[in-house]
Structure 1
């Protein structure tokens, strides 16, 4: 009788151990899958935001260079305004997904973009001069995004 109880107890303990280890492994796999999915979403958002900022900078330079009253200038200004609306929406997504440091870096990019937009609209200054500041801020943004995504880039040759 005792041997039968020990056998049943062994089977129960074995089944429970198997269930717990399988559950733990499944939870860990699920967490890794979620982390990967969120990292992919972050990367996409980070790239879209930076691409949109660069598009605005290019359009601002083109609008600035186009003659006043020309169709080209109006088209560049219109495209620039649409791109700014897109950048604003992307920034909202970025703030939901990004680390605080990456959000701060993107926040530092925004006023530089706005200066470029105003420079193109009013022609009070050349957006190409503001572009140097934008490049610095974007470089910091890229650096913070890589840290957030745990991407290390070794630029040394092997």
Structure 2
């Protein structure tokens, strides 16, 4: 019996070491799982943010083409409202599920900035439905759209902890007779 008692501290040490090792591995695995899960959700949020921006951009490009038809925009490929109608309808239909995904996955700040941006896009669509011919007012809408887009992108970058991006306004050559 005395041999057992002499070896009891070593046995207790082995049991404590094994339990400590087990708990350290479990804790490490749990932390790794949470990090990987957070990374997956970030990737999904980024995809939702990109899809929403891409959907709005399709609408804006079509709007600029229709505005060009009315003489409001210098876009080189004008479209009549009749030609653009099916494409605008498709863009609007795509915007709804992308917007729902944004509401589900987006941070409150990103959703608010998206609301500001899409409100301007809706005003652009109404401007064109009314058949307005006012290049200065159209340019004002374009500037508000760019501000809304920049705010949305800044909120996305902040939400995903991305480095700050540039709000570059590309200088495009003027379109007109040479």
Q: Same fold (TM over 0.5)?
A: yes
1:86 CA drift (Å): 1.2
Pair 1:125–1:22, CA change in 2 (3 A): farther
Structure 2, unaligned runs of 5 or more: 71-78, 167-178
Tell me which protein shows more helix as a share of its residues: 1
Structure 1, unaligned runs of 5 or more: none
Residue of structure 2 aligned with 1:133, choices 126, 144, 151: 144
- Larger Rg: 1 or 2? 2
Matches within 5 A, 1:133-152: 133-152=144-163
TM-score (norm 1): 0.86
The CA distance in 2 between the partners of 1:64 and 1:106, in whole Å, is: 23
Q: Which residue is 2:51 aligned to?
A: 48
The CA distance in 2 between the partners of 1:153 and 1:22, in whole Å, is: 37
Matches within 5 A, 1:24-103: 24-66=27-69, 73-103=81-111
- How well do the aligned residues superpose, as a CA RMSD in angstroms? 2.0
TM-score (norm 2): 0.77
1:103 CA drift (Å): 1.0
Count residues with an aligned counterpart. Answer: 152
Q: Is the 8 A contact 2:154 2:165 kept in 1?
A: no
- Whether 1:21 aligns to 2:29 is no
